[in-house]
Amino acid sequence: MEKDDAKTDLDEAVNEFLTYDEYLDSKITPSDLYYLEDEKLARQVVELGLRGTGEVWKREEFESRKAAAQPSRLSKRSEQKTLASTGKELKDNFLRALAEREEANRSGKNHSIIFIRDRSACGQEISGYIDYAHRLKCEDFEPYFSGKKRLLPQPTDLSFYNWKTNEVASSESVNYQVIADHPTTGVLFMNKKDRNIVNVDPQASPCEQSPRMTLKSDIYLHVAIFDHYIKCTI
């Protein structure tokens, strides 16, 4: 019975958190950050079991279960015709904008890039660019649209920056290649399907194929959406 309970707890953690680092962050307290003054060190302390936070799953166990569960989750989502935003009471402009774009991003007509600047669960200011279509395929968005969770950039997204620790990360997705540190424009994203560039520099001239929309949000410090419309090549 105890073994079954442990398996259930791990399954719940895998379903709730997108990455292992996000899982570790959920166990970090403001007090930990105050004394350690380093988010990465706080994660290591939790991972090593040096805090009284109960049992902590090992990275290998978490990622193995995550990988094993992925095909099943994707299969179930492909069978669901109802969008994650359907029937939800969306009071925030940003969530309404995401809902309006959900179908197009799921179908491949649009590869939206989301910019979010806000505070993490640990209270640290973070920002980054998210491939919306990619995250929709890899993650259940129902908790975001229902207000149970907040959508935040992760180090596994197109780009990520922690303003307190200066942690910088970038990862290409199934839809975009990251072109970092461009000499004149900074970070750029090249769409892998049509090979067109999305310039997210707010000072850049508006692009008809990838228009930028800045939104006022009651739940995020700053958000913007770049709608990259995929041209039909047939």
DSSP conformation letters of 25-48: HTT--HHHHHHH--HHHHHHHHHT
Mean pLDDT along residues 7-22: 72
**Which tokens is 230 given?**
């995929």
Compute the distance between CA of residue 31 and CA of residue 141 in angstroms, rounded to an integer.
Answer: 31
Check if the beta carbon of residue 217 is closer than 8 Å to that of residue 209: no
The pLDDT value recorded for residue 180 is: 80
Q: Please tell me the pTM assigned to this model.
A: 0.67
The pLDDT value recorded for residue 151 is: 96
Q: Which residues of 19-31 are buried (b: 16+ CB within 10 A; e: fewer)?
A: ebbbbbbebbeee
Compute the distance between CA of residue 52 and CA of residue 195 in angstroms, rounded to an integer.
Answer: 50
Q: Is the pLDDT of residue 217 over 70?
A: yes
Q: Is the pLDDT of residue 80 over 60?
A: no
pLDDT in tens, 141-191: 999 999 999 999 999 999 999 999 999 999 999 999 999 866 666 789 999
* Residue whose pair of structure tokens reads 């950050």 in the numeric block: 33
**Which tokens is 52 given?**
């009284």
The pLDDT value recorded for residue 12 is: 74
Q: Is the pLDDT of residue 125 over 50?
A: yes
Check if the beta carbon of residue 18 is closer than 8 Å to that of residue 156: yes
pLDDT in tens, 18-56: 788 888 877 777 677 767 777 788 888 888 877 655 678
Q: Is the pLDDT of residue 210 over 60?
A: yes
Greater confidence, 74 or 110? Answer: 110
Contacts of 34 (CB under 8 A, 6+ apart): none
Averaged confidence pLDDT in the chain: 83
Q: Is the pLDDT of residue 120 over 70?
A: yes
* Residue whose pair of structure tokens reads 């090979």 in the numeric block: 195
Portion of the chain with pLDDT greater than 90, in percent: 47
What sign does the dihedral 72-78-81-83 (CA atoms) show? positive
Compute the distance between CA of residue 141 and CA of residue 150 in angstroms, rounded to an integer.
Answer: 10
The pLDDT value recorded for residue 207 is: 67
